[in-house]
Structure 1
């Protein structure tokens, strides 16, 4: 037979090189891409049939041999291995077999929106912590698994580059390379001569700071991939310094109408109308016209709804209520604790204020040009004093003599907390020493007051953390300055010697910060002390359950970012505690709390999203200086709003701007609300996919059973984890796990172990391969079981179906191979009845009630196989019905009614019979 007589379609079985293979996508009659039957994607080979010594021919899958039966537990193990082994699932979401995350149903909304667009242009503006990275990752993984894209670039702020690399690799099995100012030269050296960057590295994560220079920008534009993700997209609007170049870059990328672009931001509208509409114009230039159209029924606005999704946390409640487990985000429980500036610390604070007043009066009279300098020094010194004695000493010791002529002095990011979209301000203490006046007494006093006896703020922190630790919480303490973080960590270690405490600041590289955080995983009691270098970039939800603001942020957005590191998608605790600590008679804390934070919180409660503070720096700075120099009321009670009434009068224009921004945000929430996709559209697809691929419960049962039957049972460990010892496994399996980096003891957390984890996939592959050898298999292809779950003899047939899926998208034809596992049952023998619903899997999970003789088992299995030999037409009918259902699912997800004739699904026959299991009624 000539091997070219067959044009094998994806999913067909062929025999070549002495074994059986499954034909993969991209194969032709002259070139075959093959995966070994029972093998993994890592074993895929390509061959040219004309050059093979032995002709390539069609093959059939061997049925189970009744002479090698197993028990019922081994039968269930094979079913689980089959489901967890699937990588090219038959559902409409092909990516689900290749991701290491279990997305919530609401996170499928952007994915559905993307699949309904020929060119994916989406602005995903969900609230902080809802999971925008997951949503974007699902989309690009899906497009890749469908073969619609092969290259991807993620554009993001520098501090998020490593996080994106980690998320793509750990959650979506996508290997990427980082392109930043520090890594660019190394990356370029690794590229072979004459090869373009995106050809050598199809997935890159690019720092926006690196790419904005003219030389790098032009090179990137010339080689830009077909899909782009833009994180923190609001930083690429046309408003603000440095943003113009970013906007022009995106504009030129968007000019290619075939390029997919996903933009992510939690703050799409910062009150600047022009910036917002410029941003949505990147989706489609026509959308810029919407700035002057207010009707929600405008056809252009209806079109925008296909490209723009924004959900608040309360919007997600609708989805949580309809999920099977009802789980979602934890409750965020907020509280406040205070301390008083009493005793020596109060006297020290007053002395610092007096020093600032006297120096201000002297400088303003003698050197008029230095007035700006004294206001800076006042704010810098009093903010550091309010932070900690250590920060106060650092500020008093650092001479301020290089910024006298700087017109932007009061904008120094060491003093402030950055703008709404800039959360990377320096955590180094600002200098505050203006001249050589004797400050030694103040420095000595600050040093003497270090520790909980002299520092009432630290004492209040220790009392509060003791309560949190006793209640089982793991807190993160956020400080503003490096010196404060080290000071707090040092004294907390003394107060809690049995608790793991780490300090993470901007002194360390991002990788060092990540390693320090991860090192705390093994400790039950842990406290992380950090500056705002961790308010973005490292997710903390897996290790921590409480946030404490040791230093009040001067920007409401910063508070939300801190809390959002812990209270976000993936947090397992039902409740996250968030605490603000402030001095009740500290005038700076009082101003920030009452004038800025309270207002921001009130707006957020009303609207559900944070509206950024207006960027009226001059008025706010003037008000801050007046508050900083305000005399305390003798420390005899908390500050009240009356104390700030005159300051608030001067901030009326800022208040008006904030109110205007609130009204605009309220209007936009109404006009741009996501109403196109509802839970009832998504949940059926999600539930089908869960059933087809296996749930977390299936993963846990599989791992427990497989390791036990392989003589390496899991051992209980602390924190609801289990210890896995790979050295007890068979040698061949140990070697495969070693190739995946699993070569020593592993701690397993079943809340985090997903189906695509190397341990799961390697065990599933191993058991499937072994089951095909038929000799004493651990995962059994046939069995007979006595059980009280049935009243008549019931035979369960475990089938593997392969389908050839063809469709056209953007005039480009695609051909894909899809696989699924299907369990069907036949009740009775004299008048057999076929069952194909979910009840079949429930029967497979029945509990045996007795043992059977091996000869009886073999005879029962033999009868079941003889019956199936007469039912080939029924098997083909089942395969055709599943193909029709698969076609309907794909059309529904794509909304492809207008594309009739562009989708087709055909079954690859014959059907593989993977397992035969006979359930006999309990004789009792």
Structure 2
């Protein structure tokens, strides 16, 4: 029979709408479905009959059920004929007006190529999902590739299904093998599924990248796209370069591109520009080695709103802000209130000094020694138990004469700087590698002495633990019966779990060794418990929405990367928070230069936020953090109980006040300040040109 688009046919005992057809194939959607239900049939083997919808019968006049169905039919017909956004008909969300702005922007041009750079907690996933759903309903896109950090794959799959009724498949090294067993012989999972989700680091592997590039995709979405920016010209970052090359190559050939990030600018214009030029090469101009950004050319390619601007907009409209207020306080703990704890810290510092002395004159070896020294300090700052486990690891490696493969310096430095790792590397794995670096037989006695000193610090001597247990948790429980406590290390998580047990609240823990199913069970138990704390590592710091579970967060140790801190806060400080205020407590060891370093990191991050209107990933650059930390962690040697051999050390005797001034110079007058000044001349993310819907 002859076919035409929009025709109603009967096939397989169902009514279908004809969408597309050729001599051999027929694309049709069931009458009771939507675009996502489209199916492909071979015309030669199907029994296709002309059909039509039932006419309205006069005999049904007065039938309540029939009248209600007719009314609904007219309503749906009206929506399809006049509603501006088809995606709203099939989504399970009621978006805030500002969340419709990226959707409007995406429909302004024939191809949607947009960077959504809204603040943490504004709902970038919802904004992107609305765009994808809308383009699918309008028939503009069919095949979609979503690339995310590894820990966000399942969340994206759940969000697409729950909010937008879009089915997707996650392809990884494991699932791909399973799909190949289940699919028809010779079928390629990358080609077979309409909507595919994969981790960026899995997709960048040459053998995987080749398979992805062979497919015809209609839309590419990259979450946390700042991880895929081209590295700054003066630094080497091979993994990030591979991510950039993957996204660049895909972005050239896929017509619709959505980039998502809350931290688009890492302080270097050339890196930021590398993201923008994928979307629209007219935005970026390079002359004599200098990169310039053309703001007018990016009008339809960049949508960035910060929370402060949106709150002001709501205030002007006389509308209550949907965002909670944030009350953040630092909890300063004096390590020298405990003699045993102070002795432990001093021995850790001395051991770090000795590592650097022994590595003098060796380039890579000296760098590794620096990161190991920092690492042991961070473990001591976290908890005495975490330090004990590290020293035990080092001692066992020496005594058993174990051999380990040489670890990339990028992994070791990234662990110290609290950078996020790719698929196969966790914080615990990186920490374990640092524990076993730069060891020899001569270290044995010193390690035994340090282990004895660390083990002597009992929970009663741990002033930070006592502060958390006896003051911070009771104060926050008076505000909210559910508290989330973040720590970097699983060892510290276990230490807290053990020493907080026996109180009038339940304790739950979450770390990277748990399966996704187990984590979901824990979240459910945490939600249903009347009074509890959830102790978690950074496995839940990115992407997860916990605003309905708690309004209180404790950072048991402060990350050296402010991005990680803001990611944690964004789990509860976001739209949908049930409380009017979120309360955040951050533990900092007082009377150490460590406090000065971390204060300056956060102060600088806050300055960027105030100055530029968004949270920058400025401290995500390995070389810059390294330079700052090496300069900033010089301490007064007079605190030591004994002297160390002369030579390059992590600390010198210039005095804490002078060092603090030097740190301020680095941040406020040195390279950092000039970089910000340069970026301000070329910036256009401070205030989006696209105002919230309803105020256009």
Q: TM-score over 0.5 for the alignment?
A: yes
In 1, Cα distance between equivalents of 2:495 and 2:295:
53
Assess if the C-alpha contact under 8 Å between 2:324 and 2:575 holds in 1. Answer: no
1:570 positional shift: 3.0
Aligned to 1:384: 379
Aligned to 1:728: none
1:680 positional shift: 2.9
Aligned to 2:524: 518
Aligned to 1:236: 228
1:438 positional shift: 5.4
Whether 2:262 is the aligned partner of 1:266: answer yes
SS in 1 for 2:570: helix
Which of these residues, 595, 601, 604, is aligned with residue 596 of structure 1?
601
The structure that has the greater radius of gyration is 1
1:619 positional shift: 2.5
In 1, Cα distance between equivalents of 2:36 and 2:53:
21
SS in 1 for 2:634: helix
In 2, Cα distance between equivalents of 1:41 and 1:165:
15
Assess if the C-alpha contact under 8 Å between 2:283 and 2:298 holds in 1. Answer: yes
1:459 positional shift: 1.5
SS in 1 for 2:132: helix
1:78 positional shift: 10
Change (3 A) 1:325 1:654: closer
Whether 2:355 is the aligned partner of 1:348: answer no
Aligned to 1:459: 466
Deviations 1:660-700 (A, max 9, x none): 23324444444774224553367xxxxxxxxxxxxxxxxxx
Assess if the C-alpha contact under 8 Å between 1:230 and 1:262 holds in 2. Answer: yes
1:488 positional shift: 1.1
Change (3 A) 1:629 1:506: farther
Deviations 1:629-662 (A, max 9, x none): 67399xxxxxxxx934325426734542221233
SS in 2 for 1:185: helix
1:248 positional shift: 2.7
In 2, Cα distance between equivalents of 1:37 and 1:191:
27
1:145 positional shift: 0.9
Which of these residues, 529, 538, 544, is aligned with residue 532 of structure 1?
538
1:419 positional shift: 7.2
Aligned to 2:656: 643
Aligned to 1:306: 300
Where do residues 691-730 of structure 1 align in structure 2 (5 Å cutoff)? none
Aligned to 2:648: none
Where do residues 34-183 of structure 1 align in structure 2 (5 Å cutoff)? 56=51, 59-62=54-57, 65=60, 90-183=82-175
Aligned to 1:623: 631
Change (3 A) 1:324 1:395: same
In 2, Cα distance between equivalents of 1:287 and 1:520:
47
What TM-score results when the alignment is normalised by the length of structure 2? 0.81
Aligned to 1:431: 435
Where do residues 535-614 of structure 1 align in structure 2 (5 Å cutoff)? 535-588=541-594, 590-611=595-616, 612-613=618-619
Whether 2:489 is the aligned partner of 1:489: answer no
1:229 positional shift: 0.6
Aligned to 2:647: none
Assess if the C-alpha contact under 8 Å between 2:27 and 2:39 holds in 1. Answer: no
Assess if the C-alpha contact under 8 Å between 1:237 and 1:275 holds in 2. Answer: yes
Change (3 A) 1:173 1:553: same
Which of these residues, 202, 208, 213, is aligned with residue 216 of structure 1?
208
In 2, Cα distance between equivalents of 1:325 and 1:75:
38
Deviations 1:278-324 (A, max 9, x none): 2211112232227799999x9x6323111111111112225534779
Change (3 A) 1:569 1:243: same
Assess if the C-alpha contact under 8 Å between 2:150 and 2:423 holds in 1. Answer: no
In 1, Cα distance between equivalents of 2:297 and 2:355:
63
In 1, Cα distance between equivalents of 2:518 and 2:83:
41
In 1, Cα distance between equivalents of 2:329 and 2:185:
60
Indicate the larger mover: 131-140 or 609-618. 609-618
1:126 positional shift: 1.4
> Unpaired segments of 5 or more residues in structure 2?
232-236, 642-654
Assess if the C-alpha contact under 8 Å between 1:390 and 1:450 holds in 2. Answer: no
SS in 1 for 2:279: coil
Give the aligned CA root-mean-square deviation in angstroms: 4.5
Aligned to 2:234: none
1:340 positional shift: 2.3
In 2, Cα distance between equivalents of 1:540 and 1:471:
17
Indicate the larger mover: 191-200 or 49-58. 49-58
SS in 2 for 1:616: helix
1:457 positional shift: 0.7
> Unpaired segments of 5 or more residues in structure 1?
634-641, 683-924
Where do residues 507-906 of structure 1 align in structure 2 (5 Å cutoff)? 507-588=513-594, 590-611=595-616, 612-613=618-619, 615-623=623-631, 625-627=633-635, 631=639, 643-649=656-662, 652-653=665-666, 655=668, 656-670=670-684, 673-680=687-694
Change (3 A) 1:55 1:676: closer
Deviations 1:834-878 (A, max 9, x none): xxxxxxxxxxxxxxxxxxxxxxxxxxxxxxxxxxxxxxxxxxxxx
Change (3 A) 1:42 1:411: closer
Aligned to 1:251: 248
Assess if the C-alpha contact under 8 Å between 2:344 and 2:454 holds in 1. Answer: no
Deviations 1:573-619 (A, max 9, x none): 2211111112222432x133333222222332343322313642442
Deviations 1:691-730 (A, max 9, x none): xxxxxxxxxxxxxxxxxxxxxxxxxxxxxxxxxxxxxxxx
Change (3 A) 1:529 1:63: farther
SS in 1 for 2:435: coil
SS in 1 for 2:122: coil
Assess if the C-alpha contact under 8 Å between 1:424 and 1:532 holds in 2. Answer: no
Which of these residues, 469, 473, 476, is aligned with residue 468 of structure 1?
476
Assess if the C-alpha contact under 8 Å between 1:168 and 1:174 holds in 2. Answer: yes
What TM-score results when the alignment is normalised by the length of structure 1? 0.62
In 2, Cα distance between equivalents of 1:521 and 1:397:
37
In 2, Cα distance between equivalents of 1:152 and 1:420:
25
In 1, Cα distance between equivalents of 2:184 and 2:44:
31
Where do residues 270-419 of structure 1 align in structure 2 (5 Å cutoff)? 270-289=266-285, 301-321=295-315, 326-343=320-337, 345-354=338-347, 356-357=349-350, 360=353, 364=357, 375-399=370-394, 408=409, 411-418=412-419
1:376 positional shift: 4.2
In 2, Cα distance between equivalents of 1:459 and 1:542:
29
Assess if the C-alpha contact under 8 Å between 1:378 and 1:625 holds in 2. Answer: no
Whether 2:183 is the aligned partner of 1:191: answer yes
Change (3 A) 1:23 1:662: same
In 2, Cα distance between equivalents of 1:275 and 1:40:
38
1:529 positional shift: 0.8
Change (3 A) 1:654 1:106: same
Change (3 A) 1:321 1:64: farther
Indicate the larger mover: 191-200 or 534-543. 191-200
Where do residues 198-213 of structure 1 align in structure 2 (5 Å cutoff)? 198-213=190-205
Indicate the larger mover: 175-184 or 86-95. 86-95
